[in-house]
Amino acid sequence: MAPLRVLHVLHSMNCGGAETLIMHLYRGMDRDKIQFDFLVNVFDEMFYEREIESLGGRIYRMPFLTRVSPPVYAHRLYRFFRTHGYAVVHSHLETTTGLILREAKRAGVPVRIAHSHNSRFTRTGLTALPENLFKTYCRAWIVPSATKLFSCSELASSWLYGRHAAQSTLLPNGIDASACAFDADVRRAVRESLGVRDGETLFGHVGRFNDQKNHAFLIEAFRAFAADHPDSRLLLAGEGELMQQIRAEAAPLGERVIFAGLRRDVPRLLQAMDCFLLPSKFEGLPLVLVEAQAAGLPCLAADTVSSMADLGLGAFQFVPLQVEEWTRRMAKIPPRVPDAAALVAQKGFDCRLQARKLQAYYLESVGGV
């Protein structure tokens, strides 16, 4: 019997948190029973594209509604769903999920899943007002059009589903915990490759260079801290539209800020760090914070991040977005947590467990159609 093909709808399959989560789940599926296909809005080759194809997944591309207008986008979605005949559509496009699942329902797709990964509109202010009004309109279609609601955290659920949040199912962000387990030999090798000397404290951050991740604040806080701590360095991994701006802001710090670029070895990078910093303006449940804790790292996160991000290992602190407070906490980081990867897996954040749960849901939902 051919595997059930589940269509996942995202903007792209580059290496953001939601995309990495989905790849963890995809790898954990029994692909004799479940296959993932992807409908995306980018036409360049994506970070995970070759791996998806090697696993047997199919990739379809469609211009996003900002390129073709909402009515044209909706019509193309409807035509796509009618033509391809998927039994399960799983949308990760936040508020636009309402439009996607509305057209999936109209086209007769029996199982329609909404999945919330965030906790706020990605753009704010007057210039984003028309866009956010339309997103609010789309959000109103989610609950009437979905047959299942998932979220990564209670905060993400409340934001996307509002008064219907109680109907959603939490699916915590799963990671490959064993890949994050601390290894002293890996730590030495990675630090040597980065040019980090023994005795230097390495702070780190992994994330796309955009407004949400708040790199400008991170550079400001590290600049203030570094003035009194000459044996400290900052590692930034990722790419994005604000990367050149952040490079310019970090330039006076010279080699004390390491720009590591887009990486496929994030679990190895975490071994090299002494503390993980995440000053995001908003988050659902950041996958990289789960990975950082599995690596045993002390973590400082903005108090705008979901409270579920603290897995209770004892080395996690929520910090207000005030430079003085961050520098104070950075000066008093606790030691690394021993055996953290096993503890994180025990708490249910292992991707294999989440993959089994999701696979069972897919099969049961189609069986009930």
- The pTM (predicted TM-score) of the whole model is 0.88
Domains by residue range for the chain, with CATH: 4-174+350-367 (3.40.50.2000), 177-347 (3.40.50.2000)
What lies within 8 Å, CB to CB, of 337 at 6+ separation is: 293, 296, 297, 298, 313, 314, 315, 343
Cα four-point dihedral sign 118, 123, 126, 127 = negative
**Within a 10 A sphere around the Cβ of 207, how many other Cβ atoms?**
22
Q: What is the pLDDT of residue 186?
A: 97
pLDDT, one tens digit for every residue, the chain (369 residues): 899 999 999 999 998 889 999 999 999 999 999 999 999 999 999 999 999 999 999 999 999 988 999 999 999 999 999 999 999 999 999 999 999 999 999 999 999 999 999 877 766 666 666 776 888 899 999 999 999 999 999 999 999 999 999 999 999 889 999 999 999 999 999 999 999 999 999 999 999 999 999 999 999 999 999 999 999 999 999 999 999 999 999 999 999 999 999 998 999 999 999 999 999 999 988 899 999 999 999 999 999 998 889 999 999 999 999 999 999 999 999 999 999 999 999 998 999 999 999 999 999 999 866
In angstroms, the CA 239 to CA 167 distance is: 36
CB < 8 Å & 24+ apart, contacts of 187-192: 187/271, 187/272, 190/268, 190/269, 190/271, 190/272, 191/272
Q: 283 — phi, psi (to 5°)?
A: -160, 155
In angstroms, the CA 11 to CA 42 distance is: 7
In angstroms, the CA 104 to CA 100 distance is: 6
Query: In this structure, what token pair is assigned to residue 255?
Result: 């080699």
Q: What is the pLDDT of residue 369?
A: 62
Query: In this structure, what token pair is assigned to residue 365?
Result: 């939902």
Query: In this structure, what token pair is assigned to residue 108?
Result: 């007769």
Q: What is the pLDDT of residue 8?
A: 98
CB < 8 Å & 24+ apart, contacts of 123-127: 123/211
Q: What is the pLDDT of residue 130?
A: 72
Q: What is the pLDDT of residue 123?
A: 64
Q: What is the pLDDT of residue 285?
A: 86
Q: What is the pLDDT of residue 133?
A: 85
